Amino acid sequence: MISFELLFPVSIVAGFIGAMAGMGGGVVIIPVLTLLGVDIKHAIAISILSVIATSSGSASAYIRDHITNLKVGMFLEMFTIAGALTGAKITLAVSPKPLYIIFGLVLLASWLALLFARHQMGNTGPQDRLTRWLELEGSYPDQVLGKVVHYKAVRSYFGAPLMYLAGIIAGLLGIGAGAVKVLIHDLVMGLPPKVSTTTSNMIIGVTALAGASVYLVAGLVEPGLAAPVILGIAIGAFLGTRLLVRMSNQAVRRFFLFILLILAVEMIVRGVRGGL
């Protein structure tokens, strides 16, 4: 029943919806694959591979624009990678049922985070000693404001363990968990929204790699599924991002967020019912 001819267009749509809603394609493709009859662990493994493609693709442009903070990224990657290894190992060990429920709940939480996203400026006040020692500060040329924005990160002692948890979620569910990471960067570490989004994008790539390695050895990466999904999501995300740049319409974004809400509820219901 599952064929390239079915999966390829479905993956393009998944990548497109993910990009339009401001999330990765993983949150869309995993529920869709499971609806098509793919085992959730195989779906997670394929999704995390496609996450490497989409996050690296978009991170590329942001890094070249000097918005991404390489030091913040490198420091936090130590924690997210360890988390991803833990998360993927947990997925291999547990039964599918809790995975559906956790997936739905994380999607729901990310959904709320996106809907109520606050756009405050980054912290410019004094830093704590650890964060200052870690040299976690920076500046970037903001094209909208027309000036160089300076910022100083704070509370890295709290951000780091939280990023380990974000890594667990990413590895466990095969998603980028970008919304969770951005939330930690914004609210806990006081990074400006642009820096937190783009730096999170860079972190997602290596985090997904750690998770993908675990799934590859476990034999969950099926090349038959991987080919259409990776290509499709990359194309869909590319188109979605291009369109998103030209649109500032909140109504359109809310429509795509609504689709994510349905997917979240649907996953929870399937997990609770256990019929899968």
Q: Does 9 bind another protein (CB under 8 A)?
A: no
Tokens of 54: 């989409």
Q: Does an H or E element contain 24, and which?
A: none
- Distance, CA of 129 to chain centre: 30
Task: Give the one residue of 57, 90, 105, 109 binding another protein; rule: CB under 8 A.
Answer: 57
Of 54, 95, 85, 89, give the one whose Cα is nearest residue 204.
54
Q: Does 40 bind another protein (CB under 8 A)?
A: no
Q: Does 253 bind another protein (CB under 8 A)?
A: no
Minimum distance between the CB of residue 167 and another protein, rounded to whole angstroms? Answer: 11
Task: Give the one residue of 210, 260, 263, 268 binding another protein; rule: CB under 8 A.
Answer: 210
Residue 154 or 202 having the CB closest to another protein: 202
182-201 burial code (b ≥16 CB/10 A, e <16):
bbbbbbbbbbbbbbbbbbbb
Backbone angles phi, psi at 79, to 5 degrees: -85, -40
CB-neighbour burial class of residue 100 (10 A; exposed 0-12, middle 13-18, buried 19+): buried
Using the 8-state DSSP alphabet, how is residue 122 labeled? P
Residue 138 or 271 having the CB closest to another protein: 138
Helix/strand/coil for 70: helix
Task: Give the one residue of 219, 246, 248, 250 binding another protein; rule: CB under 8 A.
Answer: 219
Residue whose token pair is 């529920």: 31
d(CA 236, CA 215): 24
Residue 201 or 260 having the CB closest to another protein: 201
Q: Does 243 bind another protein (CB under 8 A)?
A: no
Helix/strand/coil for 176: coil
Task: Give the one residue of 14, 17, 53, 257 binding another protein; rule: CB under 8 A.
Answer: 53
Amino acid at 74: M
Ranges within 59-118 binding another protein (CB under 8 A): 59-64, 66, 68, 70-71, 74-75, 77-78, 81-82, 85
Residue 70 or 115 having the CB closest to another protein: 70
Tokens of 276: 């899968």
137: number of CA atoms within 13 Å, CB side?
17
Q: Does 35 bind another protein (CB under 8 A)?
A: no
Considering CB under 8 A, how many residues would be counted as binding another protein?
55
Ranges within 167-206 binding another protein (CB under 8 A): 205-206
Task: Give the one residue of 49, 182, 257, 260 binding another protein; rule: CB under 8 A.
Answer: 49
List contacts with another protein (CB under 8 A): 3-5, 8, 49, 52-53, 56-57, 59-64, 66, 68, 70-71, 74-75, 77-78, 81-82, 85, 134-135, 139-141, 147-148, 150, 205-206, 208-210, 212-214, 216-217, 219, 221-224, 226-228, 230-231, 234
